[in-house]
Amino acid sequence: MNYIKFAGPIIDDAMAEAVKQTLLSGWLTSGPRVAEFEAALSKYHGGRPTRVFTSATAAMEVAFEVCGIGAGDEVITSAMTFFSVGNMIEKVGAKTVFVDCDLTTRNINLDQVERAITPNTKAIVPTHFSGLPCDMDRLYAIANKHKLRVIEDAALAIGSTWRGLPVGAFGDIATFSFHPNKNMTTIEGGAAIFGDEREAQRAEIHRFHGISRLADGTRDITVAGGKFNMSDVSARLGLDQLAHLDEWCAHRQKLAAHYFAELESIAESLGLGLPAKAYTGGERGHSWNMFCVLLPLAKMSITRKQFIDAMHKENIGIGVSYEAMHLTTLFRGKARGHHEGEFAHAERISRETVTLPLHAGVTLADVERVCNALVRLLRESAK
């Protein structure tokens, strides 16, 4: 019985050959392939200025720096997101202000965002959870009203759309991840898409030591930059991956629909929490990077870890997405003062969530096998 990975990229022979030829070209670090990849990403996102990085985390750090966010500033984000968001807010010296998320969409609670704004607030960082865009109209209405920057954590949302436009093709700044568990990969890597070419140029300086080149060919340092430039090898893989992105997202949508077809009619009786499925007006185009469910642990005689181990014995990979960020050691107790009971939805998700296999290599038969094992284990473990 084959092992069904919960995430994983598709890399075919043509892609491997393209990477090989790049390796043999003699140009390995940032060069012509990086420029070509940035141009292709920009075209995909409506011609907006684009820069690529070693990771989405690096892209987000540079985005904060470009926006001038630092000591004394506050940045609002959801307690239900990946660790990199809070890490980068703290790393640039700003204060992370958490709000809760919606229990079904897992996206940031915009009512709480409005209440959390203070004179020190400089930005909002929403996470498009699992590839489902936030309510972008309301998000930007809030940001524009209070003159705040928006740095979209679109790490999971490459290929997602809002009202027919790709996430990143409008708005302020969006950051994407090309980690192997995303909808497309550059092995490791990320990108930031800007609304302003001048900010994109500043990001380019920040990502490579803060270096500016002078007219006589010498160099100067204008800011304390980092070292976040993508290699040509990664960019070459990214070019071929991007060419397949829409096809792979369409397949993911079929897989998600099949999960709903298999589970929706029995989810309530099992106590299983399914992700959001339908959206008012159909404005949100979901790229389905993940399919996360909530286990009915109160009704189960086994723990989440025991459930995951049992699924692994069935040769089915299971993930956890995500832990509540405000309850990590960095943010709780004496460190930043956060504690259990602050954000009920994020904390429930953190306790009960599991991520089911969903990627371009999964088949409809794989989905059925996952669902059969899931339902059997829930029934066997029912108290």
CATH 3.40.640.10 is held by the domain 13-238: yes
The full DSSP string for 104-167 is TT--B-HHHHHHH--TTEEEEE-B-GGG----HHHHHHHHHHHT-EEEEE-TT-TT-EETTEET
Q: What whole-number distance in Å separates Cα of residue 205 and Cα of residue 226?
A: 9
Q: What is the pLDDT of residues 77-89, one digit of tens each?
A: 999 999 999 999 9
- Say what the pLDDT of residue 284 is: 86
- Say what the pLDDT of residue 126 is: 98
Neighbours of 74 (CB within 10 A): 18
Q: What is the pLDDT of residues 107-147, one digit of tens each?
A: 999 999 999 999 999 999 999 999 999 999 999 999 999 99
24 Cβ contact list (under 8 Å, min separation 6): none
Q: What is the pLDDT of residues 299-322, one digit of tens each?
A: 999 999 999 999 999 999 999 999
- Answer yes or no: 182 catalytic: yes
pLDDT bin (cut points 50, 70, 90) of residue 344 is: very high
SS3 label, residue 293: strand
Report whether pLDDT(36) > 80. yes
Q: What whole-number distance in Å separates Cα of residue 41 and Cα of residue 47?
A: 8
Mean per-residue pLDDT, 156-177: 97
65 Cβ contact list (under 8 Å, min separation 6): 92, 206, 223
N-terminal to C-terminal alpha carbon distance within the chain: 30
Cβ atoms of 18 and 236 within 8 Å: the answer is: yes
Q: What whole-number distance in Å separates Cα of residue 186 and Cα of residue 34?
A: 11
- The dihedral through the CA atoms of 176, 179, 185, 188 has a sign that is positive
Identify the active-site residue in 147, 182, 277, 334: 182
The phi and psi torsions of 151 (rounded to 5 degrees) equal -115, 100
- Say what the pLDDT of residue 197 is: 97
Could you give the C-alpha distances from 348 to 142, 251, 295, 321, 365, in angstroms and in order?
Answer: 27, 30, 10, 12, 31
Cβ atoms of 230 and 189 within 8 Å: the answer is: yes
Report whether pLDDT(70) > 80. yes
Q: What whole-number distance in Å separates Cα of residue 178 and Cα of residue 6?
A: 16
Which residue reads 């086994």 in tokens?
302
Q: What whole-number distance in Å separates Cα of residue 124 and Cα of residue 56?
A: 17
CATH 3.90.1150.10 is held by the domain 245-380: yes
- Say what the pLDDT of residue 283 is: 84
Neighbours of 106 (CB within 10 A): 26
- CA contacts within 13 A on the Cβ side of 23: 7
13-238 shares its CATH topology with 245-380: no
Q: What is the pLDDT of residues 13-28, one digit of tens each?
A: 999 999 999 999 999 9
Weakest mean pLDDT among 60-69, 178-187, 334-343, 370-379: 334-343
Domain boundaries, the chain: 13-238, 245-380
Cβ atoms of 183 and 252 within 8 Å: the answer is: yes
Helices (H), the chain: 13-24, 32-44, 56-66, 83-91, 110-116, 136-146, 197-206, 232-270, 304-313, 344-352, 364-380
When the pLDDT of each residue in the chain is averaged and rounded to a whole number, the result is 96
Mean per-residue pLDDT, 148-160: 98
- CA contacts within 13 A on the Cβ side of 179: 15
115 Cβ contact list (under 8 Å, min separation 6): none
Report whether pLDDT(252) > 80. yes
Report whether pLDDT(327) > 80. yes
pLDDT bin (cut points 50, 70, 90) of residue 279 is: low
Cβ atoms of 373 and 267 within 8 Å: the answer is: no
Report whether pLDDT(280) > 60. no
Report whether pLDDT(278) > 80. no
What would you measure as the largest C-alpha separation in the chain, in angstroms? 76
pLDDT bin (cut points 50, 70, 90) of residue 212 is: very high
